[in-house]
A and B are shown apart, each in its own frame.
Chain A
Amino acid sequence: MGAAIRAEGLMKSFGDIRALDGVDLAVPEGAVLGLLGPNGAGKSTAVRVLTTLLRPDAGSAQIAGVDVLRHPNRVRSLIGLCGQYAAVDEYLTGRENLQMVGELYQMRARDAKTRARELLEWFDLAEAADRPAKTYSGGMRRRLDLAAALVAQPPVIFLDEPTTGLDPRTRLALWELIETLAAEGTTLLLTTQYLEEADRLAHDIAVVDHGRVIARGSADDLKARIGGERVEVVVHERELIGAAVAVLTPYGEGRAGVEQHTRRITVPVSGGARVLADVIRELDRRNILIDDIGLRRPTLDDVFLSLTGHAAEETDPGKDA
């Protein structure tokens, strides 16, 4: 007990594609789990199974102890869904959308109305409340979408790529909202392609690839596993790559990676800005002309490179199943 979300051995295939290949998850009540992985890794399929939208081929899942396969309708009143696969009706106003969702959560019409008003204020949509949602900006739509997931005050909320396609400022605003939710004790399961997002919002991260959870732990655990920062150098001409690698190697914690066509050299380091300064001095001393240099924090690509040996983009580019 105590797990708000539990999944065991979830399997799902679409034809030849194995979208879920034995996924186990356990999210304690009040925790935030980030499912991190590239497109097509199986994140969304997992969410679809947990939110009763899709029957798995094998495995079991419970939300707050209620079996997803045996009592889907009871599960539906315990969850809220937001993101990629949930939407708002663009021809209805924000208020009408929320009221409709409330009534379909089996709230009384009056309660649905009150709840819609509360949420519209909370999400800073009160002024736009009576405009059709299609007049909303991308950020406003996401907020409305998130509000719809919260109408019935569900104890468990699924956020499927909640900030994909948003500009940085809007993303930041949405993060703050999600942080508030988490602080209030809602159990959240969040899927994302951005390490930064999982890092900021999730207590625990499960890295998903090819339908399997290949690593789990806190953001710090993962970062420790993949090493910290990297120095990245772009040299001015290809002829300089060899010389630059020679400069970088003594500072590296591992082998330097080279991308010939972009003239980019990357090497994991520890020591941060001091190392960077040393590297710059050394390159300068040897007259190696550079176009760009910087310290880079680990990205999803780095997580994947270190965990799977392949970059995130190289994984099956099939549909985001």
Chain B
Amino acid sequence: MAIVTSKVAGHAPGQPRGGVVQMARDSWVVARRNLRRMTRIPEIVVFGLMQPVMFVLLFSYVMGGAIKVPGGGYREFLMAGIFTQTVAFAVEGASAGIADDMTKGLVDRFRSLPMARSAVLAGRTLADVVQSAFILLVLAMVALLVGWRVHQGILKALSAFLLLLLLGYAFSWIGALIGLSLRSPEAATSAGLIWLFPLTFLSNAFVPVNTMPGWLQAIAYWNPFSATVQACRKLFGNPGVDGAHAWPMQHPVAASTLWSLLILALFSWLSVRKYRNAVG
């Protein structure tokens, strides 16, 4: 038997069909690869969980007492913020993962294959969404244990989680661009994280915005992050829904969706363009 000639008949090396079907299939093949990796490196998921759980406990029991929230307890107020922060941290997974694939030469392998150009990144971000969903599930259970409740029914709660996952998906495309741009996994990890802290803290996630100075309030109200947090609080029926007149605060579900779609469109375009031209 020869190495080159195979028993597998009927495929001259498959002509790439192109189009959406091939894109979906290729993305799924790459997503499955990334999901397999996650099950083989459980540390990543475990550490991904530890941080939000730690935040829940620290904020609830250490700082929570000092922060007053109109209309309810701080723990219930806090959870929407923690959930949103957690999905935003998908940025880090994507940036480190893509940078790792670049340095290990896997991206070159993929780029030499007749596969859809967007599939490596789409496969990565899809796997990130699955991971975020899993982390949210565990985190929600921890939240229930410390006293968080939903008050508007399960459907609204589920739609809040969908909004969260959409935001997370959009953010992991930011991570993809960072990963493609920096390449060293260590640098990409830091670069994926560093701007998230100001972004999440300059929002309604952890404190009511009306406690901030005026100019900061404007930033906080228009922060994409705040729209999602506000939408979640509303859909969960949690305290702290901000009555401000800023449009995103008045229409948080629409604002959150629009922000996510905008980020998604912009960064998937930038990332795929960068991927095509990536020079090693």
A residues whose Cβ falls under 8 Å from a Cβ of B:
48, 51-55, 73-74, 76-79, 81, 84-92, 96, 100-101, 103-108, 111, 114-115, 118-119, 122, 132, 148, 150, 152-154, 177, 180-181, 184-186
Which of B32-40, B150-158, B206-214, B262-270 contacts the other chain? Answer: B32-40
Residue on B nearest A14 in the bound complex, by CB: B279
Contacts of B6 in A (CB 8 A): 114-115, 118, 153
Total inter-chain residue pairs, C-beta < 8 Å: 130
Partner of B4 from the list A89, A101, A108, A184 (CB cut-off 8 Å) is A184
| Interface pair A87/B8, CB less than 8 Å apart | no
Partner of A76 from the list B16, B22, B279 (CB cut-off 8 Å) is B16
Residue in A87, A119, A150 whose Cβ sees the most chain B Cβ within 10 Å: A87
Q: A78 to B277, alpha carbons, bound, how many Å?
A: 21
8 interchain pairs, CB-CB under 8 A: A53-B280, A74-B114, A76-B16, A76-B115, A101-B113, A106-B115, A114-B8, A184-B5
Contacts of B8 in A (CB 8 A): 107, 111, 114-115, 118
Contacts of B109 in A (CB 8 A): 81, 86-88, 101, 148
Contacts of A81 in B (CB 8 A): 108-109, 112
Q: A123 to B7, alpha carbons, bound, how many Å?
A: 16
Which residues 102-119 of B have a CB within 8 angstroms of A? 104-106, 108-115, 119
Give B116 Cβ to nearest chain A Cβ, in Å.
9
Q: A96 to B13, alpha carbons, bound, how many Å?
A: 19
Classify chain B's interface size.
Answer: 35 or more
Residue in A81, A89, A154, A180 whose Cβ sees the most chain B Cβ within 10 Å: A89
| Interface pair A87/B106, CB less than 8 Å apart | yes
Instruction: Please judge, given known A-B contacts A86-B108, A100-B29, A107-B11, whether A119 and B3 are in contact too, CB under 8 Å.
Output: yes
Residue on B nearest A78 in the bound complex, by CB: B13
Contacts of A107 in B (CB 8 A): 8, 11, 14
| Interface pair B108/A53, CB less than 8 Å apart | yes
| Interface pair A92/B112, CB less than 8 Å apart | no
Q: A267 to B10, alpha carbons, bound, how many Å?
A: 59
| Interface pair A104/B110, CB less than 8 Å apart | yes
| Interface pair A105/B113, CB less than 8 Å apart | yes
Partner of A48 from the list B3, B15, B277, B280 (CB cut-off 8 Å) is B280
| Interface pair B26/A96, CB less than 8 Å apart | no
| Interface pair A181/B111, CB less than 8 Å apart | no
Contacts of B108 in A (CB 8 A): 48, 53, 81, 85-87
Partner of B3 from the list A106, A148, A184 (CB cut-off 8 Å) is A184
Residue on A nearest B37 in the bound complex, by CB: A91
Q: A101 to B2, alpha carbons, bound, how many Å?
A: 20
| Interface pair B104/A154, CB less than 8 Å apart | no
Residue on B nearest A44 in the bound complex, by CB: B280
Q: Which 7 pairs across A and B sit closest by C-beta, in order of nearness? A: A106-B14, A87-B105, A152-B13, A76-B114, A77-B114, A77-B13, A104-B115
Partner of A108 from the list B11, B114, B277 (CB cut-off 8 Å) is B11
Contacts of B273 in A (CB 8 A): none
| Interface pair A111/B115, CB less than 8 Å apart | no
Give B9 Cβ to nearest chain A Cβ, in Å.
8
Contacts of A132 in B (CB 8 A): 40
Give A10 Cβ to nearest chain B Cβ, in Å.
15
Q: Is residue B17 contacting chain A, with contact meaning CB distance below 8 A?
A: yes
Contacts of A154 in B (CB 8 A): 13
Contacts of B15 in A (CB 8 A): 74, 77, 106
Additional 7 contacts, C-beta under 8 A, given A54-B279, A77-B15, A87-B109 = A74-B15, A76-B112, A76-B113, A81-B108, A91-B41, A106-B15, A150-B4
